[in-house]
Amino acid sequence: MAKKKIVILTTGGTIAGIGEAGKDTGYVSGQVSGESLVASVPELAEYADVRVEEICNINSDDMTDRIWIELANRVRELQEDESVDGIVITHGTDTMDETAYFLNLTVKCEKPVIITGSMRPSTAKNPDGPANLLGAVRVAAGFAVDDDPPENLVWVYFAGSLFDARNVQKCSASALDAMGVNAPGEGASLNAPREKNFFDVSKLDSLPRVNVVYFSVDASPKVLEYAACISDGLVIAGAGSGEFSKAWAEALAAIDIPVVIASRTNHGVVTLNETLAPGRICAGSLAPQKAAVLLRLCLTVSENPRVIRNYFANAQQG
């Protein structure tokens, strides 16, 4: 049987990081070229014919909307390329969940799209990047899982587990199995529902600006007011089920841009408190950073809260 052809798109991150030999910390992300990264895992050739394209080589904290759009457009082109069977993307773990969700909302994936990365740099004593990259390629080529992942979804492969793009997030700052899902007690799942929302970014070169504002005890409402001045939309990471102080509620009443209410807990479902945030948009079960991704894309279509609310309702249903 002919090997499947897998394209590896590299964006940098810890998996391409370099530091003092043998150490897990104190490294600089995004230093190893895509070609060198793939060449360091010769076992890839046992499972697929791979070729590599470097999209960028950065720390994922420096990811931008313009790179997102470039990446989505390239993934879309590869989806349409009959010579390609699957796509693997290497990415830093800090914002991997946001990029995965963005791609999930902007690319119709009839072929596997698997994102992976690492917690240790390439120069660590026991780097985890090679195993994660090999595992991601194996999944993209049809190995390593009992059933093929459903189409029209982007997946994250990490530390031997596969996570859907909507629910995945980084759950640990240091553990090797840092990627998980935003629901306590749940693990990897191949039963995630297909995405109902889709946004065409092929003709865009940037996205509207959305900032996430984090509420804590005695947080100044001026933070909220300032964020509104530099944003096209806001996400509030509220306490509990999206709660915040009366002072914040008063400041929010004067803000006339779309605002989504999420929870800083990252678990459970937000139920909108109409007393604090009348007429605002409920994030539901989306983590604040995922709500920001969806809101940015919604704003490319409409600024009408009613329209945006429908997109968020669709996101809850899958």
Number of helices (H) and strands (E) in the chain: give both, helices first.
Answer: 8, 12
Question: Is the CA virtual torsion 69, 70, 72, 73 positive or negative?
Answer: positive
> 130: alpha, beta or left, given left = phi > 0 and alpha = psi -120 to 50?
alpha
Cα angle for residues 177, 147, 42 (degrees, 5° grid): 60
State the catalytic residues: 14
107, 108, 114, 118 alpha-carbon torsion, rounded to 10°: 20
In the structure encoding, which two tokens stand for residue 91, read together?
A: 């990415």
Spell out the alpha helix ranges (H) of the chain. Answer: 34-39, 65-80, 96-106, 129-140, 221-229, 246-253, 288-298, 305-317
Q: How far apart, in whole angstroms, are the C-alpha atoms of residue 131 and residue 68?
A: 25
Give Cα separations from 60 to 36, 94, 181 (angstroms). 19, 6, 19
Length of the chain, in residues: 318
In the structure encoding, which two tokens stand for residue 30, read together?
A: 């995004």
216, 219, 224, 226 alpha-carbon torsion, rounded to 10°: -130
Helix (H, G, I), strand (E, B) or coil at 4: strand
Q: How far apart, in whole angstroms, are the C-alpha atoms of residue 135 and residue 116?
A: 9
